[in-house]
Amino acid sequence: MKPDPGKRKQAQELVFEGLGVSPGIAIGPAHLSEVGAPTVPEFTVRKAEIPEEQARFRAALDLSRRQLRRLGHRARKMHAGAAGEELSTLLEAYTRMLTGSRLVRGVEQRIAETRINAEAAVRAEISKIARNFAELDDPYMAARADDIREAGARLIRNLTKTPLPAYSTLPRGCIILAEDLSPAETALMNPAMIGGFGTIMGGPEGHTAIVARSLGIPAVLGVTDLDISRLSPGARGALTVIVDGSGGRIVIDPTPATLADYEKKRASLRRESRRFSGLRDLRSVTRDKTDIQLYANYELPHELVLAQRNGAEGIGLLRTEFLFMNRDRPPNEDEQYESLRAIVEGMKGRPVTVRTLDVGGDKLAYSVGSDLHDSANPALGLRAIRLSLREPKMLSDQLAAILRAGAHGPVRILLPMVSTVDEVLKVQAALGAAVHRLKRRGVPIADPLPPLGVMIEVPGAALIADMLAQVADFFAIGTNDLTMYTLAIDRADERVAYLYNPLHPGVLRLIQSTVDAALRARIPVSVCGEVAGDPRYTALLLGLGVRELSMAAPSLPRVKQRVRALDIASTTLHARAIMEQIDPEEIGRMLDDLNETM
Ligand code: PEP
Ligand code: MG
């Protein structure tokens, strides 16, 4: 994919297909984020912290090996013949350097003996080994020195979570092309500065995709053949890139005709969004007069304004992970309280549903501890409510912060990844203790106490929704994880993205039975996964009995427009017909037909 400057424009244009995860069109100069030595912090660690520092190093090692393995699989698949062989041999060489090698032993020893942090130990060890190779004055060995530097740079990137600082210095409107971006890295992008981004890895409902949507930054993930390392270095900065987040396409060095075409599309999208802003003050009501509550999901601080501007009736899902990301230590009770209070006050009397910490899986927050990253199956491991229950102080700080924020406006507490009734009972006990403690301190708290709700996002929880409804004050159905766990499909893995389908009858049955259980127990139930914000699914969700939807704030006007075009009577009939289908593809077609006629 190296553009040839000698060819005519027409021949230079490179088009890549991927997963359009965040709609919109961005056009701007390329920024390739795979290169560049990350800045290496250097500090001493106390003796007692040595095991923790070594564990952090091992976690970065694991992650680096996993990345290399995935790149290797892809190289063999994408580049048949000699090129694929060459690339995968290289990747294997990097992997070997990260497996029980001199490098690994050397770094562990350095951390223990000189008490320096893992990044600094990696850098020191890498330069020593590379120097030894280079001194051998043999071209083969000199090339090994490059390999070891490359493997070390990957390790350091994974340890430091770079390219964090680079974003603030990029030219306005630039397009980031990267091998992979974590949710935490994506969260650092300023939508006023970054035009859009494309990555080789990543699936449609992973948290990187969700963060991109919440920022309103057009993004295409899972662009499997976007081989950044082969882009001609000289052309990099000068390349114009189009990110078509709606169509799932990246165009590098577009022809004038393509450019004009996309500029036209971008202008029309901007006109459409201006039209939508007129919906803000209209009621969210169906044609047969059923009110549908539309709430905003809150992922990052800038969304408060978006939620207000787009007429959200409250925050239906406040993901508190952002408070814990990109920092060394978890925030204490006061810090959390201050952040939550600002949001509660900003919502001016409209309810704010605060979810307790949901790290783990693809959402990592290093401030919470490194053993989270050790699991062979992070999505099935120590995450979300399981982690909170194992760290009682962290849970109690968070509950106390929410209770205190509740003195400034209505709040609700929501528990992620619940799979048993017992987990809810344990949190009820922790909540009781936090209330007691705060009252003794004489601190004002929510009065009445906030409702305690449960995310239904584990199939086992959906299957016992009637039992959970006895102990929960409300349900929020997390269709992202519910789909992932029901179908055993990693929501952030582009290779199996074609199987990720919330319209699978297995997923729909779990949604249906959860809604029924909530209605029978007379507790509110909302859907807060990504389907809630996609107008394609609105008719089906209303037909299944859902009356509350929570979504990324930019989606609110579009979904409201859809709600106002529907009537409950006919969505119910159509949902019944859909629930009798076996084939997810057929369900998709029926839904599209319904959306065309209503
Ligand atoms: C979900 O799983 O659907 C959900 C809303 O939670 P998150 O996307 O934060 O995991
Ligand atoms: Mg979830």
Domain ranges of the chain: 7-35+165-254, 47-160, 293-597
Give rounded-to-5 percent helix, strand, coil for the chain: 55, 15, 30
Give yes or no for residue 529 CB within 6 A of ligand 1: yes
In angstroms, what is the span from residue 413 Cα to ligand 2's centroid? 15
Counting ligand 1 atoms within 8 A of each CB, the residue from 385, 415, 454, 480 with the most, and so the one to mutate, is 480
Task: Tell me what pLDDT residue 576 has.
Answer: 97
- Which atom number of ligand 1 is nearest to the Cα of residue 297? 5
Task: Tell me what pLDDT residue 315 has.
Answer: 98
Residue with CA nearest ligand 1 atom 9: 319
Do 343 and 304 touch, CB atoms closer than 8 A?
yes
- Which atom number of ligand 1 is nearest to the Cα of residue 321? 9
Cβ neighbours for 597, distance < 8 A, ≥ 6 positions apart: none
Task: Tell me what pLDDT residue 93 has.
Answer: 72
- Which atom number of ligand 1 is nearest to the Cα of residue 457? 2
SS3 of residue 162 by DSSP: coil
Surface-to-core class of residue 495, CB atoms within 10 Å of its CB (0-12 exposed, 13-18 middle, 19+ buried): middle
Q: Could you tell me which of 227, 177, 178, 199 has the C-alpha nearest to residue 3?
A: 227
In angstroms, what is the span from residue 372 Cα to ligand 2's centroid? 17
Residue with CA nearest ligand 1 atom 6: 478
> Which CATH architecture does the domain made up of 293-597 adopt?
Alpha-Beta Barrel (3.20)
Task: Tell me what pLDDT residue 10 has.
Answer: 44
DSSP state of 376: S
Residue with CA nearest ligand 1 atom 1: 478
Distance in angstroms (rounded) separating the CA atoms of residues 214 and 226: 24
Distance in angstroms (rounded) separating the CA atoms of residues 478 and 355: 12
Give yes or no for residue 339 CB within 6 A of ligand 1: no
Task: Tell me what pLDDT residue 8 has.
Answer: 38
H-helix or E-strand spanning residue 549: strand 548-552
Which ligand is in closest contact with the Cα of 207?
Answer: 1
In angstroms, what is the span from residue 74 Cα to ligand 1's centroid? 28
In angstroms, what is the span from residue 243 Cα to ligand 1's centroid? 25
Residues within 5 Å of ion ligand 2, judged at the Cβ atom: 457, 478, 481
Distance in angstroms (rounded) separating the CA atoms of residues 239 and 438: 57
Strand ranges inside 287-417, DSSP E:
293-298, 315-319, 352-355, 411-415
Q: Could you tell me which of 313, 315, 311 has the C-alpha nearest to residue 279?
A: 311
- Which atom number of ligand 1 is nearest to the Cα of residue 484? 2
Counting ligand 1 atoms within 8 A of each CB, the residue from 319, 321, 387, 489 with the most, and so the one to mutate, is 319
Which ligand is in closest contact with the Cα of 482?
Answer: 1
Give yes or no for residue 528 CB within 6 A of ligand 1: yes
> What are the φ and ψ backbone dihedral angles of 394, each rounded to 5 degrees?
-65, -45
Give yes or no for residue 481 CB within 6 A of ligand 1: yes
Give yes or no for residue 333 CB within 6 A of ligand 1: no
H-helix or E-strand spanning residue 113: helix 102-114
In angstroms, what is the span from residue 185 Cα to ligand 1's centroid? 18
- Which atom number of ligand 1 is nearest to the Cα of residue 205? 8
In angstroms, what is the span from residue 481 Cα to ligand 2's centroid? 5
In angstroms, what is the span from residue 345 Cα to ligand 2's centroid? 26
Distance in angstroms (rounded) separating the CA atoms of residues 352 and 401: 13
Rounded to the nearest 5 degrees, what angle is found at the Cα of 487, between the Cα atoms of 184 and 453? Answer: 60
Rounded to the nearest 5 degrees, what angle is found at the Cα of 59, between the Cα atoms of 460 and 496? Answer: 50
Q: Are strands 14-17 and 452-456 parallel, antiparallel or unpaired?
A: unpaired
Do 459 and 485 touch, CB atoms closer than 8 A?
yes
- Which atom number of ligand 1 is nearest to the Cα of residue 210? 8
Cβ neighbours for 376, distance < 8 A, ≥ 6 positions apart: none
Residue with CA nearest ligand 1 atom 10: 481
Give yes or no for residue 480 CB within 6 A of ligand 1: yes
Distance in angstroms (rounded) separating the CA atoms of residues 103 and 264: 53
Surface-to-core class of residue 58, CB atoms within 10 Å of its CB (0-12 exposed, 13-18 middle, 19+ buried): middle
What is the fold, at CATH topology level, of the domain defined by 47-160?
A: Enzyme I; Chain A, domain 2 (1.10.274)
In angstroms, what is the span from residue 530 Cα to ligand 2's centroid? 10
Give yes or no for residue 457 CB within 6 A of ligand 1: yes
Scanning 115-138, the segments in alpha helix (DSSP H) are 118-135
Strand partners, 412: 353
Strands lying side by side in the sheet with 219-221: 14-17, 249-252, 240-244, 25-32, 174-178, 194-199, 219-221, 19-22
CATH class, 7-35+165-254 region: alpha beta
First CA to last CA distance, the chain: 44
What are 301-323's pLDDT values in tens digits?
Answer: 888 988 998 999 999 999 999 89
Distance in angstroms (rounded) separating the CA atoms of residues 414 and 42: 39
- Which atom number of ligand 1 is nearest to the Cα of residue 416? 6
Give yes or no for residue 478 CB within 6 A of ligand 1: yes
Please identify every stretch of the chain with a pLDDT value under 70, giving residue numbers as ranges.
1-11, 34-39, 71-91, 100, 134, 136-147, 161-168, 184, 229-237, 362-367, 369-374
pTM: 0.72
Do 501 and 484 touch, CB atoms closer than 8 A?
no
Distance in angstroms (rounded) separating the CA atoms of residues 185 and 532: 25
Strand partners, 209: none
In angstroms, what is the span from residue 8 Cα to ligand 1's centroid? 46
> What are the φ and ψ backbone dihedral angles of 409, each rounded to 5 degrees?
160, 170
DSSP state of 437: H
Q: Report the catalytic residues.
A: 207, 528
Cβ neighbours for 156, distance < 8 A, ≥ 6 positions apart: 37, 38, 40, 119, 122, 123, 162
Which ligand is in closest contact with the Cα of 210?
Answer: 1
Distance in angstroms (rounded) separating the CA atoms of residues 227 and 265: 27
